């Protein structure tokens, strides 16, 4: 019941008919925002929604150690439980942990080939079979197209969608158009969601995505960085 309560109350359902249908296998999604606006928190909330459905999530961090990533998950999970005044969540937390695997790389040492080797190690030994992948910390520079194209092929072959946290420059618009940071690889992404602070709250905008999603009525609480319905 606790799990169902959290799933049903999750405002991420407003992204589409069902958050799990937002990205299909092999598709890419991006969370776009400048530094410190809530990209990692949004990514973790997407992951938690999948974990509550007992879907395996691989979280790849290129700029934070495993311990810090794990703390992000725990903090966001219990903040969500407090937001909805749901009690006795410790047991639920323990049941979703086996569905999460955190992997870290140094940015300079990250290649799709190396990632594929580690993925094969996990799956061939029956340790973990990812059904969704989150990547945080990948620099979107002039050389990013080649690794993204390689990763797109891996995602299609292994059957998982990939969400990225993408840092844009402070002067880039994430409300009405594709930011320059990601414009050169925009064709590889099926969905893009922009986060922008207006001083009182952080607005969540659908920059690119399924037409049926329409205009998102979501914001992030600036205090907790939790997603909530604008209404």
Cα first-last separation, the chain: 25
> Does pTM surpass 0.85?
yes
Closest CA to 80 of 229, 226, 213: 226
Is 210 within the bounds of a domain?
no
Is there a domain that residue 221 lies in? no
What distance in Å separates the CA atoms of residue 130 and residue 57, rounded to the nearest whole number?
A: 6
- Nearest residue to 226 via CA among 63, 56, 9: 9
Q: Give the domain CATH number at 85.
A: 3.40.50.300
Q: pLDDT tens for residues 38-72?
A: 999 999 999 998 998 899 999 999 989 999 999 99
Query: Among residues of the chain, what percentage have pLDDT more than 70?
Result: 88
Q: Is 7 inside any structural domain?
A: yes
Is residue 201 a part of any domain in this protein? no
Q: What proportion of the chain, given as a percentage, has pLDDT over 90?
A: 61
Consecutive H or E run containing 88: none
Report whether pLDDT(18) > 70. no
Please give the residue range of the domain that contains residue 167: 2-14+35-193
Residue 90 lies in a domain: yes
Give the pLDDT confidence of 111-149 residue by residue, as tens digits: 999 999 999 999 999 999 999 999 999 999 999 999 999
User: What is the model's pLDDT at position 227?
Assistant: 83
- Interval 206-222: pLDDT, tens: 899 875 455 567 888 88
Helix axes 39-52, 2-9, angle to 10 degrees: 130
pLDDT value at residue 11: 55
- Statement: residue 17 has pLDDT above 50: no
pLDDT in the model for residue 177: 84
- Domain-embedded: residue 25: no
Dump pLDDT digits (tens) for 159-185. 999 999 999 998 888 877 899 999 999
91 is a domain residue: yes
Is residue 230 in a domain?
no
Distances (CA, A) of 137 to 51, 74, 149, 161: 21, 20, 17, 17
Check residue 12 and report its DSSP letter.
Answer: G
Number of domains in the chain: 1
pLDDT tops 80 at residue 74: yes
């Amino acid at each position: 019941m606790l799990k169902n309560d959290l799933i049903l109350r999750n405002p991420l359902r407003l992204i589409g008919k069902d958050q799990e249908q937002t990205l299909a296998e092999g598709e890419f999604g991006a969370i776009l925002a400048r530094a410190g606006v809530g990209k990692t928190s949004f990514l973790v909330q997407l992951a938690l929604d999948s974990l509550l459905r007992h879907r395996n999530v691989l979280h790849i961090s290129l700029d934070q150690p495993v311990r810090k990533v794990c703390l992000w998950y725990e903090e966001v999970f219990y903040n969500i439980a407090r937001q909805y005044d749901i009690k006795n969540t410790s047991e639920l937390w323990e049941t979703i942990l086996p569905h999460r695997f955190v992997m870290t790389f140094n940015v300079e040492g990250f290649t799709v080939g190396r990632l594929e080797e580690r993925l094969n190690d996990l799956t061939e030994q029956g340790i973990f079979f990812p059904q969704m992948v989150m990547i945080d910390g990948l620099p979107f520079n002039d050389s990013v197209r080649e690794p993204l194209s390689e990763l797109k092929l891996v995602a299609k072959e292994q059957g998982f969608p990939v969400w990225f946290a993408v840092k844009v420059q402070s002067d880039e618009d994430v409300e009405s158009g594709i930011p320059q940071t990601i414009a050169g690889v925009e064709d590889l992404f099926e969905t893009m969601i922009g986060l922008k602070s207006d001083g009182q709250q952080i607005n969540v905008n659908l920059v690119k995505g399924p037409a049926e999603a329409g205009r998102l009525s979501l914001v992030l609480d600036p205090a907790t960085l939790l997603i909530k319905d604008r209404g």
